[in-house]
Structure 1
Amino acid sequence: MSNSSRKGQLELGINRSPEKDRNFHLGGRSFYFFDFDDNIAFLTTPLILFHKTDRHEVKISSGDFAQYHQSIGKSGPYADYDLDFCDMTGTFRNFRDHHIEDIEKLQGKKQIFVQDVAEALGFPDFQWKGPSWECFYHATFNQRPLSVITARGHHPETLKDGIRVFVQNKLLPLEPNYLSVYPVSHKETRALLGDAELKEGTAELKQRAIRASVETAIETYGYNPHHRFGMSDDDPKNIQLIAEEMTRLKARFPEMSFFLIETQHGNFVKHEIKLGGLRGEKVENLSQLSFFEEDRQKS
């Protein structure tokens, strides 16, 4: 990445002063939950579809997969293709960790996710920064407790290794204050979420991860009616089930605030979860540095 690209992000950090949580004076904390792909960043990691007859492979982006995955094999542009769920050779093989020999580690070989993050930084900012990047930067800069909840199947430490590349390249000022990391296709993580038999879908597992993260937040930082929680995602099915889970959490913790941010198709739509339903507004992603701290002082 060019020095000029890095300089712009560094200047943004230099001109900022750390800010307290919106409800800090009341003892409340702001918790940020992020999907990674097409939210924090756009990576070139491809998914692989297999033709039904001759099994030839077609690569598609995570954005296209989010848009078409419910119709793959049934209708639309990928009606003649199937998914393959083998972690080593199938559709999601690039979204899983692979064994790296010790000698390869000494030679600097990294997991695919870490490589893909590093490769993305060779492109201009507007190509790799996702619609929630500024929110992610804001949360990291101010050390808000944050969770990464992603459909990827890497080990949680691999996700942290990839995010550390942003720090090493001066695009983040320091490492995030992790509340939790849930790659919900990672087998050990699925077991931790109560899906040891590997029967649940991604959206359902994200629901469980959100619930577990809220419970961890309260366990770690104490119960406070002024806590605020926000989650961003781009997949329509995930968004629907995230809204359902946050509605249940709102009923369980009615004094706390819950927000859902849709980032599909380049939009940035913020919904507040109310006991009587959703309240939504479309906002400009480039100026939306915070999920839900509306009265924060912008630098």
Structure 2
Amino acid sequence: MSEDQKTKGQLDLGINRTPEKDRNFHLGGRSFYFFDFDDNIAFLTTPLILFHKENRAEQMISSGDFAQFNSTIGKSGVYADFEIDFCDVTGTFRNFRDHSISDVEKIAGKRQVFVQDVAEALGFPDFQWKGPSWECFYHATFNQRPLSVITARGHHPDTLKDGIKVFVQNKVLPLEPNYLSLYPVSHKPTRLLLGDTEYSEGTAELKQRAIRASVEKAIETYGYNAHHRFGMSDDDPKNIELIVQEMTRLKARFPEMSFFMIETQHGSFIKHEVKVGGLQGQKVEDLSQLSFFEDDRRKS
């Protein structure tokens, strides 16, 4: 490891940072952080695969482009002649699912695609793989805030943990998160857990359910307190729309608590506070900000 890498790792381990209490700690409140993974915490090179309608030729597409164009795939625009195949083994999302790995392959070091892709991402410069919510993710982890990962991926929750553990092993994250919940909403057992017994709900609807379940688990685990604060970051426009809808319902249910939606489309960072009567939003130009919840905090 080079001296630059050593220094970078030491800084990322938080040696120059001091753990901070929750903003509402003195009132008994906690801050809960909910994250989508792809293009939020990190940019991975995991491709999705579209299929030509006539000859089944495969077209790779990034997760960011898929979030932008998924509503027009097969209908109009650059991907009008392509379609989505929902087979978990051979279809569009095959790289976003766990694969069967034999004991022999495990001994040889083979890992799930997600874990491999996280490791490969760390070979690129920070600005290429760190997503717009990375610093918030780091801040939440460093201070052991209760944290949820709510992703469209279909891996087993343990696979998500294994991938995030790679950040710790490579010293870009100081320790493993204080997990409140993990919801890879395309993972079939997770879908059942969220009540989608017919496997008919879309990703955005499942994320709604996962947010609701995570808020309920937060209250069950940490107790009811009017000063709890919840924030969720996502980059997909449809997901954002339905997340805001769900948070509006949660705000009506728990009016004393605070709810925030963070849009990270195209690398931006737009924070909205969800009110019963609508949104309050502001664009934050400094993408290195540490917290979903505080604009004026001192960066260490």
What is the aligned-residue RMSD (CA, Å)?
1.1
With 170-179 and 286-295 compared, the bigger mean Cα shift is at: 286-295
User: Do residues 17 (structure 1) and 31 (structure 2) align?
Assistant: no
Aligned positions of 1:212-291 closer than 5 A:
212-291=213-292
Other-structure match for 1:177: 178
2:93 is matched with: 92
**TM-superposition CA deviations, 1:136-161 (whole Å, max 9, x none):** 00000000000000000000000000
**Are 1:5 and 1:124, in contact at CA under 8 Å, matched by a contact in 2?**
no
Partner of 1:8: 8
Structure 2: distance between partners of 1:2 and 1:164:
22
Amino acid at match of 2:258: S
> Does the 8 Å CA contact 2:28/2:225 hold for their aligned counterparts?
yes
Unaligned runs of 5+ in 1: none
After TM superposition, give the deviation of residue 3 of structure 1 in Å.
Answer: 5.1
Which structure 2 residues correspond to residues 60-209 of structure 1 after superposition, within 5 A? 60-209=61-210
2 CA distance for matches of 1:236 and 1:52? 26
> Structure 2, unaligned stretches of length 5 or more?
none
**Matched letter for residue 8 of structure 2:** G
1:87 is displaced (CA, Å) by: 0.2
Which amino acid letter does the alignment assign opposite residue 36 of structure 2?
D
Q: Confirm or deny: 8 A CA contact 1:139 1:146 kept in the other structure.
A: yes
The answer (yes or no) to whether the contact 1:5–1:125 under 8 Å persists in 2 is no
Structure 2: how far apart are the matches of 1:143 and 1:261?
A: 20
Deviations 1:152-183 (A, max 9, x none): 00000000000000000000000000000000
User: Structure 1 vs Structure 2: percent identity of aligned residues?
Assistant: 81
Q: Deviation at 1:11?
A: 1.7
Native 8 Å contact 1:45 1:116 kept in 2: yes
TM-superposition CA deviations, 1:68-94 (whole Å, max 9, x none): 000000001000000000000000000
SS of the residue corresponding to residue 204 of structure 1 reads helix
> 1:67 and 1:159, CA in 2 relative to 1: closer, same or farther beyond 3 A?
same
User: Which string of whole-angstrom CA distances, capped at 9 and with x for unpartnered residues, describes residues 9-58 of structure 1?
Assistant: 53251110000000000000000000000000000000000000000000
Q: Does 1:45 align with 2:10?
A: no
1:63/1:72 CA distance change after superposition, 3 Å: same
1:32 counterpart SS class = strand
Q: Which amino acid aligns with 1:190?
A: R
* 1:33 aligns to 2:34 (yes or no): yes
Question: Which amino acid in 1 is paired with 2:253?
Answer: R
Partners of 2:270 and 2:80 lie apart in 1 by: 30
- Using the TM superposition, give the Cα deviation of residue 255 of structure 1 relative to its aligned residue in structure 2, in angstroms: 0.2
Aligned length: 299
How much has 1:196 moved relative to structure 2?
Answer: 1.7
